Structure 1
Amino acid sequence: MKNFIREVFTHVLENPVFDEILIEKYFSKDYVQFVDHQQLHYKEFVLHIKKLKEKISEQKIEIIHYAENGNVIFTHHLVESLLKDGSIAKHKVLAEFTIQHGTIIQCDELTLLLEGSLSEKNLGSEV
């Protein structure tokens, strides 16, 4: 499952192009994300990804640790984002992904801004 999550990070998040077909490939239409006291359903999540593509010119994700149990994978990863205004934001992310029928159905995530403007604190949940 680590390879699956790495694919998601590469094709959906690190990819600078918004591509809803790729989102549909990896995320269930029943997808729910709990992130930093926010709840995003599939449609809000798609808007979130679109918003990221509008703000970020380049994103790199490094998986520090991961653990798998059945259809669940937990990741501790670092996200470095180069914003289109030239600034950089770095986040530490703890995420628990639930996979069902080959797609992600749920993510329970905490993000912590390590570096960058406080206005980017909620980059992980912005819609």
Structure 2
Amino acid sequence: MIDIIGCWRLVQVRATGADGAPITDHQYGPSPMGIVQFTPERMHAAVGDGRAEMPPGKTRFWVSYGGPWRFDGAVLVTKVDVTSMPDRMGTDQVRQVRADGTRIWLSPPAREVDGVLHRLELQWERVG
């Protein structure tokens, strides 16, 4: 089983469309940043577009959420009780998890963004 307890830094985000083609203009931008901390009882994540300046007309994507979690070795479920996105309050945030050497990949369910289906994979490395 993958040991996820600890602090993890976001390394990269891969986004693909419904056809499997890469999406380069995704919400996280060309310089995604984030951190996720897992304690035995709770987790908290903060992720988003890490560019110092946004292009004209573009709004920075940023989200944070946390709560108690459970993990069966392949699926991570967080019961959200704190979040920057009110529509996520009280929901279960589900992520598929896979290990890649010393890194992990978290994949949320596909979501429509501006009318385009995005499938995301976020790669994390342990901090410290």
Normalising by the smaller structure, the TM-score range is 0.3 to 0.5
Q: Give me the TM-score of the superposition, normalised by structure 1.
A: 0.40
Q: Which has the higher helix share?
A: 1
Pair member with larger Rg: 2
Q: Which has the higher strand share?
A: 2
